[in-house]
Amino acid sequence: MQTAKQYFDSLNNDYLSIHRKKEDLFWSTYMGTSEQSEEFATSEKSWSDFISNANRITEIKAYLNDLSDDTEENKNTIHGLKGWLALFESNALESETEQKLKADLINAEAVLFDKKKNHVMSYTGENGDKIEASSPALASNLRANNNEAVRLSSHQAFLDLEQWVLNNGFIELVKLRNKFAQSLGFDNFFDYSVVKTEHMTGDELFVILEDFEKQTSTTNLKSIQSLQDEKGSDAVKSHNFYFSFAGDATRALDPYMPFSRSLRAWVESFGRLNIDYAGAELTLDLLDRKGKYQNGFCHGPVPSYYDNGQWVAAKVNFTSNALPSQVGSGYSGINTLFHEGGHAAHFSNVAQNAPCFSQEFAPTSMAYAETQSMFCDSLLGDADWLKAYAKDKNGQAVPDQVIKALIETKQPFFAYGERSILVVPYFERALYQMSDAELTAQNITNLARKTEQKILGLECSPRPLLAIPHLLSDESACSYQGYLLANMAVYQTRAYFTQKFGYLCDNPEIGPLLTQHYWNPGNSISHDNSIRNLTGEGFNAKYLADVCNLSVDEAWEIEQVKVDKLSQRTQVPVNDLNAKIQVVDGANVIASNDVSVNGMCDAFEKAIEKIS
């Protein structure tokens, strides 16, 4: 019979093998570099079978009952086994019915994913020609293209995608998800997912969400009404909305935020924050292309952990969908780079003794995981960060008037931005509460428009609900609220650092503190406890609500103080990220830091400038 320590080591090794195979196939499938969808579905099932093995719960509890913490080795084994117990308790499927339904879900999702890869979207160009486009390209048109016909056809492509989704397997997937959740004793899949991803009930979640909705509703509606009063009723039509309040500012910022400089900005900004990737191997696929998954993500084929005292550095892949030739693509591309780079920093620094503590699935809270990435991308909106890193081809920093224009366009709709996250759980909860008979394409479409009207204050969202890829994937369905919960934690964290240090941009104290309190523990502690450990205060949503409700003048005054403080301090040196970095475009390597970081950034800039 195995000792507890042998059993624990076996769990670690078996998981790493199964997880690595699944993640390698995930990457090649989602990047469109292979046609191995059947192999991927098989590997996904093997991984799912491993983490859902209910027998492990009994086995682990037996070992824990027999172990005493009288030696350091036993203490470490107990800690690791408790981590595995939390994973299996979050994912275990005890009956054959549950296991079969999970397998059916994986297969159904794989079929929908394959079909969606072949769904072609397009918009009408300025010359009347039909142009094939990805979701990021359509979204960029809605933000920054000054031709209304282009924007209208781009939005229509999203509406067409909604109907395509509803008529190509999504409704059957919803029914199957509910059936699976009900087999586990839940009323519906939404309730199951909230318990699994955030460790609270749907009712407990909506106490938080409804409070936030009430705190920001008036500000949101007032901003929309003001835009309509100023620019007319057409301004608040779905295809015009983003452009009406942000188009001019987006174009004004564009020369200062070329995507070609995004890699250097990431390396330098994270380096000055003293963020250390702990020897990780990072692969970045940053450009949009046909056949590639149309949303940024970060996955870690090799989780970081200590294997019997020896550090196992992470292997992390992350992606964005940048379109360097489009106006506004530089800012949106670098935003995704910072967001996913924040995830990578987190999952490269989990310093526990088993890989179960360092992975993005349950029992890891989505809100906890997204707090790390969203804190990093929040820096891009700070005036001092823009002054330090947003520069034109001649090295001139972005002017104050451009930053002020950004605030004048962004701040009135800050609440709208957060509510564009809030609208998703409101919709998904109602969707999964519908009976099978009620689940028709028309009823779901009507629900989407009704929810958008209620939460966003628009007849239809510029990004219609079923055009959001998270709703289709089993990993992210019914978990979108994690982004909003995370942003609440982000602004609580920002407030703490600002109060403690006076500034965020290039602050070398921040990286080590994030590493110590947020990243090193992994999922061995709760999201709330990680916040308490850093700030001394439990989770509090008021910091985000307060920022949503700032006036333009109040927001501009805060940003002016940041710029003034930036001018009074000397820029700190760039610390090495301590990572092996490779930037690819599919199978092609664009740049790497094998020789030097500067060489990598130079190579990336040259490659992007050729296609811009």
pLDDT attached to residue 120: 94
- Alpha carbon separation from 361 to 79, 357, 365, 383, 456 (Å, rounded): 19, 10, 8, 35, 30
Q: Is 394 exposed, middle or buried (0-12, 13-18, 19+ CB in 10 A)?
A: exposed
* Predicted pLDDT of residue 284: 98
Confidence bin at 327 (pLDDT 50/70/90):
confident
CB atoms within 10 A of CB 126: 11
Whole-number pLDDT of residue 37: 84
Please indicate, yes or no, if residue 68 is contained in any of the structural domains: yes
- Assess whether pLDDT exceeds 90 at residue 246: no
Cβ(142)–Cβ(243) under 8 Å?
yes
Residue 43 lies in a domain: yes
Write down the pLDDT at residue 118.
87
User: How does the average pLDDT of the chain come out, rounded?
Assistant: 95
pLDDT at 422: 98
| Residue 335 forms part of a structural domain | no
Strand pairing class (130-132; 122-124): antiparallel
Does 324 have pLDDT greater than 80?
yes
pLDDT band at 114 (very low <50, low <70, confident <90, very high): confident
pLDDT in tens, 567-603: 999 999 999 999 999 999 999 999 999 999 999 999 9
Residue 237 lies in a domain: no
Could you give the number of structural domains in the chain?
1
Containing 275, the helix (H) or strand (E) segment is: none
Burial pattern 157-184, b for ≥16 Cβ within 10 A else e, equals: bbbebbebbbeebbbebbbbbbbbbebb
Residue 360: pLDDT above 90? no
Residue 132 has what pLDDT? 96
Query: pLDDT category, 294, cuts 50, 70, 90?
Result: confident
pLDDT at 612 exceeding the cut of 80: no
Rounded Cα distance, 234 and 239, in Å: 9
Sequence length of the chain is 612
pLDDT of residue 413: 96
| Residue 79 covered by a domain | yes
Calculate the CA 203 to chain-centre distance: 24
Region 421-448 average pLDDT: 98
363: preceding bond cis by omega (within 30 degrees): yes
What average pLDDT score do residues 99-121 get?
Answer: 91
> Could you list the residue range(s) of the whole structural domain that residue 62 is in?
4-51+53-92
Whether the pLDDT of residue 475 is over 90: the answer is no
Asked whether the predicted pLDDT for residue 325 surpasses 90, the reply is no
- Answer yes or no: is pLDDT of 17 > 90: yes
Contact (CB, 8 A) for 321 and 134? yes
Q: What is the CA radius of gyration of the chain?
A: 24
Which of 463, 468, 423 has its CA nearest to residue 447?
423
State residue 295's pLDDT score.
Answer: 87
Residue 328 confidence (pLDDT): 80
Asked if residue 207 is part of any domain, the answer here is: no
pLDDT at 344 over 80: yes
Please check whether residue 344 lies inside any domain of the structure.
Answer: no
What average pLDDT does this structure show over 545-550? Answer: 96
The residue type at 478: C
Q: Evaluate whether residue 61 is within a structural domain.
A: yes
Alpha-carbon gap, residue 305 to 312, rounded angstroms: 5
User: Which residues, other chains included, contact 561 with Cβ-Cβ below 8 Å and sequence gap of 6+?
Assistant: none
